[in-house]
Chains A and B, each alone.
Chain A
Amino acid sequence: MKLTKLAFALCASVALPIMAQATELEVTHWWTSGGEAAAVAEFAKAFDATGNKWVDGAIAGSGDVARPIIISRILGGNPMGATQLNPGKDADDLIAAGLMQDLTELATAEDWATILRPKSQMDSCTLDGKVYCVPVNLHSGQWMWTNRKVYEDAGIAPPQNWAEMIAAAPALKEKGIIPLSLAEGWPIGLLTEDLIVAIAGVDNYVAVYQDRNMEMARGAEFAAVFKAIDEARQIIDPKTVVPQWNDAVALVIQGKAAANVMGDWAGGEFAVAGMVAGTDYDCLPGLGVEPVLGTGGDVFYFPKSEDPEVTKAQLAMASMMVTKEVQVAFNLKKGSLPMRADVDLSAANDCMKKGLEILDNGTKVFPNNSQMLDRDSLNQINDVMKEFFSDLTITPEAAQEQFAAIIEAAPK
């Protein structure tokens, strides 16, 4: 009897404080590859340390798979505690409908506008002067990854830009190596945009995507881009196109493919495989043509909750995500650049240092596609490019016209 009472009291003393504080927050995101999962674990660890509980809601696939699930859950009245999205227009309608938690107070108190850079990321999170999301990292999609050993074995100097990679393709093909690995779906759209940036230039890319300069979209600079994509599709054997981006990166890591165009998140995969930048593999920003950096990245939104405990936990999570320690730990694993300039990144690898250098020299930085165009239009462009890549009977001119028509019809 006495023992039971004692046990009960013990249980209560342990359980009660936890019950009083620990709020479970389900966090949805689409970080499922090796490097990404390792980075998410850092967030979870730091959030659990605040006395709350991170409930992982990873959605396998990609943003294209996850976005409809996330948006339909918020619209359908079954919101998660927090969710990853890309900066830009994806959540605008949800914010306008009042479904997202306002973070302005926290942002002002912690002075996010000063400690987080570049300004474009905070601008994307701000609507009518109020802050609705917290940017956690900077990602740029304009990188070419090459396996040095594969080129050296073939007696070719590892290429330092896109043109050299294309030139080396026939020799590699003869040896049974995939010259350029590619994944089905959005990576094709990414490759397109990277080639626009590399060949037509950053200014013309922004002129078309943001300012909707139609003469440019139909003009000679963009014709050259579609010509380059045409060259790329000629060297890619449809049998070697894999379903996921990390499969395509894995082909380069294993030496079955020589090169891949992918964002800096691919760096996380090379790190997990234990490869060293500069000796085992090369990373070429702007496809080696011009070192530039798009300010893509990830942000977290917090769907509004009636429960004050949940709101409190949401604010705790937002605050945790921009602390120095978490920013360093998370971004080193993720292969992305931190939002804060005042952190120690001596542990960063060569690729990340290249990125930081470009970031510090602000002129080479430009907005991400989702900050300029709505998701519906971006998906339509992806559809056109997917068809162009797989159907060799579509001429570059026809693809360019379809591309221009989508830009023209896109809502401002």
Chain B
Amino acid sequence: MSEVKRPNPLFRNLTAKLAASPMIFIVLVVFIGSTIWTVASSFTGIKTLPIFTPQEFYDNWVGWDQYVRLWNTPRWITSITNLAIYGVLYSGFAFIIGFLLAVLMDQKIRAEGVFRTIYLYPFALSFIVTGKVWAWILNPAFGLEKTVRDLGWASFSFDWLTNRDMSIYTVVIAGLWQGSGLVMALMLAGLRSIDDEIWHAARVDGIPKWRTYLQIVVPMMRPVMITIFVIVASGSVRVYDLVLALTQGGPGNSSQVPSMYIYEKLFVGALAQGTAASSVLLLATAIILVPWIIVEFGKKSRS
């Protein structure tokens, strides 16, 4: 009885594994390694210079101090609240506006290309330009408010930019103006991928157009929707330059977002405070993403 020599499973598909190794290395070192370093350093008291050896970590260890300070800082609470407001409103409205625009675009209108370009153009601008333009439009001293007042409506008031209760909503407005076009373009591509046969069948059955959209087309666009959601949601967590250009986080600290707090602390001698804040943000993102990943990928492997 001669034993059949089985190839070592480690060397199966060797070429593919070799090709993937740089990516695996980057993921392990850059993403996971940096994440571990960030979380670990958030339990230290380091100020300007990063530390790397276990001994240094031991010497600088302060436990939960950075987190206690973080959650006792009113500016951080405002930042997190603002991120939630911006994230929900921006993702939600970008979805709705993008979908409605795409549906309107889908009605075989004339000069569709022109409209599509117009709606998509804001996306070609940087957040800085978008922020500056809207800062001028919304500035009560010389923007929309003054223009309408000069036209004769003397009591007209639109001071959201300088009103601390409303300033974060101006960021949402500017963000939507910039981002809705992209959502529309992606949605339109999704709508176009729906087979004409489905429309014929729905028409034969006498189903009204709006119900066809809501109950047949939308469920069929699920993969596109998920892609769009990931793009829009990750974009809203990253929001930084738009706020900087539009409100500078003001009035007061009323429109601050977490990334502004993190960036400032990282480089003005409060490094550990910055990494503590980023760890919180990382954890928050994970809490939202992990259940979704489990549900989404768990389903696929079953089917």
> Chain A: residues with CB nearer than 8 A to chain B?
64, 67-69, 71-72, 75, 89-90, 93-94, 96-97, 184-185, 238-241, 243, 374-376, 379-380, 383, 386-391, 402, 409
A379 and chain B: residue at smallest CB distance = B268
Q: Which of A93, A97, A185 contacts B269 (CB 8 A)?
A: A93
Considering the complex, which residues of chain B in the window 45-100 have a beta carbon less than 8 Å from any beta carbon of chain A? 47-50, 69, 73-75
* B164 contacts A379, C-beta separation under 8 Å: no
Which of B105-113, B217-225, B246-254, B295-303 interfaces with chain A? B246-254
* A93 contacts B248, C-beta separation under 8 Å: no
Interface centre among A72, A240, A391 (most CB of B within 10 A): A391
In the complex, A90 Cα to B267 Cα: how many Å? 10
Q: How many residues of B contact A (CB 8 A)?
A: 29
Residues of A within 8 A of B69 (CB): 409
B72 and chain A: residue at smallest CB distance = A405
* 6 nearest CB pairs, A to B: A390-B252, A68-B267, A93-B48, A390-B251, A376-B270, A387-B252
Query: 18 A-B Cβ contacts within 8 A?
Result: A68-B263, A68-B266, A71-B48, A93-B47, A93-B48, A96-B49, A185-B248, A185-B250, A239-B140, A239-B141, A240-B141, A243-B248, A383-B74, A386-B252, A390-B164, A390-B250, A390-B254, A391-B164
* B75 contacts A383, C-beta separation under 8 Å: yes
A97 and chain B: residue at smallest CB distance = B49
Minimal beta-carbon separation of B50 from chain A (angstroms): 8
* B250 contacts A184, C-beta separation under 8 Å: yes
B69 and chain A: residue at smallest CB distance = A409
* B48 contacts A75, C-beta separation under 8 Å: yes
Considering the complex, which residues of chain B in the window 263-283 have a beta carbon less than 8 Å from any beta carbon of chain A? 263-270, 273
Interface centre among B50, B163, B252, B265 (most CB of A within 10 A): B252
Residues of B within 8 A of A391 (CB): 164, 252, 254
Residues of A within 8 A of B252 (CB): 386-391
Residues of B within 8 A of A380 (CB): 73
Interface centre among A71, A93, A240, A376 (most CB of B within 10 A): A376
B261 and chain A: residue at smallest CB distance = A383
Question: Does B241 have its Cβ within 8 Å of any Cβ on chain A?
Answer: no
Interface of A is mostly: helix
A402 and chain B: residue at smallest CB distance = B74
* B268 contacts A241, C-beta separation under 8 Å: no
Considering the complex, which residues of chain B in the window 143-174 have a beta carbon less than 8 Å from any beta carbon of chain A? 159, 162-164
In the complex, A67 Cα to B248 Cα: how many Å? 16
* B264 contacts A75, C-beta separation under 8 Å: no
* A67 contacts B268, C-beta separation under 8 Å: yes
B163 and chain A: residue at smallest CB distance = A238
Q: Which of B47, B164, B254, B267 contacts A67 (CB 8 A)?
A: B267
Residues of A within 8 A of B48 (CB): 71, 75, 93-94, 97
A69 and chain B: residue at smallest CB distance = B267
Residues of A within 8 A of B163 (CB): 238
* A68 contacts B268, C-beta separation under 8 Å: yes
In the complex, A267 Cα to B93 Cα: how many Å? 48
In the complex, A64 Cα to B140 Cα: how many Å? 26
B74 and chain A: residue at smallest CB distance = A387
Minimal beta-carbon separation of A301 from chain B (angstroms): 14
Residues of B within 8 A of A388 (CB): 252
Minimal beta-carbon separation of A255 from chain B (angstroms): 15
Residues of A within 8 A of B273 (CB): 376
**CB 8 Å contact bits of B28-60 with A (1 = contact, 0 = none):** 000000000000000000011110000000000
Residues of B within 8 A of A97 (CB): 48-49
Q: Which of A238, A374, A376 contacts B265 (CB 8 A)?
A: A376
Residues of B within 8 A of A64 (CB): 264
Minimal beta-carbon separation of B154 from chain A (angstroms): 14
In the complex, A239 Cα to B139 Cα: how many Å? 8
In the complex, A374 Cα to B47 Cα: how many Å? 10
In the complex, A162 Cα to B162 Cα: how many Å? 26
* B253 contacts A387, C-beta separation under 8 Å: yes
Interface centre among A75, A185, A388 (most CB of B within 10 A): A75
Residues of B within 8 A of A374 (CB): 269
In the complex, A238 Cα to B250 Cα: how many Å? 10
In the complex, A72 Cα to B264 Cα: how many Å? 11
In the complex, A409 Cα to B75 Cα: how many Å? 17
List 18 extra interface pairs beyond A94-B49, A387-B74, A409-B69, CB under 8 A. Answer: A64-B264, A67-B267, A68-B264, A71-B268, A75-B50, A94-B48, A96-B49, A97-B49, A185-B248, A238-B162, A238-B163, A241-B162, A376-B268, A387-B252, A389-B252, A390-B251, A391-B164, A402-B74
In the complex, A243 Cα to B138 Cα: how many Å? 14
Residues of B within 8 A of A402 (CB): 74
Minimal beta-carbon separation of B268 from chain A (angstroms): 5
Residues of A within 8 A of B267 (CB): 67-69, 71-72, 75
Minimal beta-carbon separation of A375 from chain B (angstroms): 5
Q: Which of B47, B162, B253, B265 contacts A386 (CB 8 A)?
A: B253
In the complex, A241 Cα to B251 Cα: how many Å? 9
In the complex, A402 Cα to B265 Cα: how many Å? 19
Residues of A within 8 A of B251 (CB): 184, 238, 241, 390
